[in-house]
Amino acid sequence: MIGASRSGTTSLFRALAAHPQVMRPAFRKGIYYFDLNYYRGQSWYRGHFPISRTAQRKTAGYGEPMAFEASGYYIYHPFAIERLARDLPATKLVVMLRDPVQRAFSAYKHEYAGGFEQEESFEKALELEDDRLAGEIDRIRQDPRYESLSHRHHSYRHRGHYAEQLERVFGLFPRDQVYIVGSETYFGAPAQEYGRLLAFLGLSPFELASFARPKAHPSSPMAPSTLQTLGEYYAPHDERLVKLLGRPLHWTR
């Protein structure tokens, strides 16, 4: 699962990890190898998963094991998808997309709660975003070990440029290896959407007792003027996404 962050990916990760054929990473849902730790090498990456013999024992009676991780930064990182395509060209990718307006606000609240954002105003953080991101991609390109605080934690609006990110994905992976699930659609009918995703992944049918919903950070609602401004900002990006996917978007405003 390559993103997008703050779209419900943790909930979907837990649902997939509960499947008896799925082998999740040993320590946490995301390994962040193809974005932040690529310099460590493939042996380091593979070390996060069970060895084949152990995986085969765990999935006996259900089917072949499938390794899985969820690093929400992959789709936005400027070089992660290229690295992934080079090293694992046959892998299947899952993308979860949420209304970019609500995603941006959720990301701000998450970063503020985590201490990565100091601005007490969402609007001020949006105002600073372009300056914060200036030159960061060049720094990432020059030093594979460089972790950009702003590119990872302060990209509220830019992470909602979904069409741009998916065009990069589709340029490196066949479309039939990419599954896009709408956050709003998934949480509206999780069992149905979960079943479709299992079929795409080639996993055996499996019924969960319940589906977790994403945790929200309590706060005042977004200011109506900011909601309108962001809606207008994303309108051309959403139109580009509709053309790319060939279907209407699942969010409404």
Select from 115, 104, 121, 113 the least CA-distant residue to 218.
113
| Residue 22: DSSP 8-state | E
* Pairing label, strands 178-182, 66-67: unpaired
Q: Coil, strand, or helix at residue 42?
A: helix
Residue 232 CB neighbours (<10 A) = 10
Q: Is residue 81 part of a domain?
A: yes
Task: For residue range 78-95, list pLDDT tens digits in order.
Answer: 999 999 999 999 999 999
Helix (H) or strand (E) holding 66: strand 66-67
pLDDT at residue 170 tops 90: yes
Q: Is residue 183 part of a domain?
A: yes
Q: Is residue 192 part of a domain?
A: yes
Instruction: Count structural domains, the chain.
Output: 1
Q: Is residue 130 part of a domain?
A: no
**∠ Cα 160 166 168 (to 5°):** 120
Domain carrying residue 228? 9-100+158-245
Q: Extract the tokens encoding 112.
A: 């503020």
Q: Is residue 187 part of a domain?
A: yes
Task: For residue range 98-127, list pLDDT tens digits in order.
Answer: 999 999 999 999 999 999 999 999 999 999
Task: For residue range 142-161, list pLDDT tens digits in order.
Answer: 999 999 999 999 999 999 99
pLDDT at residue 62 tops 80: yes
Q: Are 164 and 178 in contact (CB under 8 A)?
A: no
Return d(Cα 129, Cα 127) in angstroms, integer. Answer: 6
pLDDT at residue 19 tops 80: yes
Q: Is residue 136 part of a domain?
A: no
Q: Extract the tokens encoding 89.
A: 């060209």
Task: List Cβ neighbours of 44 (8 Å cut-off, separation of 6 or more).
Answer: 33, 37
| Residue 48: DSSP 8-state | T
- b/e sequence 120-151, b meaning 16+ C-beta within 10 Å: eebeebbebbeebbeebeeebeeeeeeebebb
Q: Is residue 111 part of a domain?
A: no
CATH number at residue 23: 3.40.50.300
Q: Is residue 149 part of a domain?
A: no
**Reported confidence tier of residue 253, pLDDT bands at 50, 70, 90:** low
Provide the whole-model pTM. 0.94
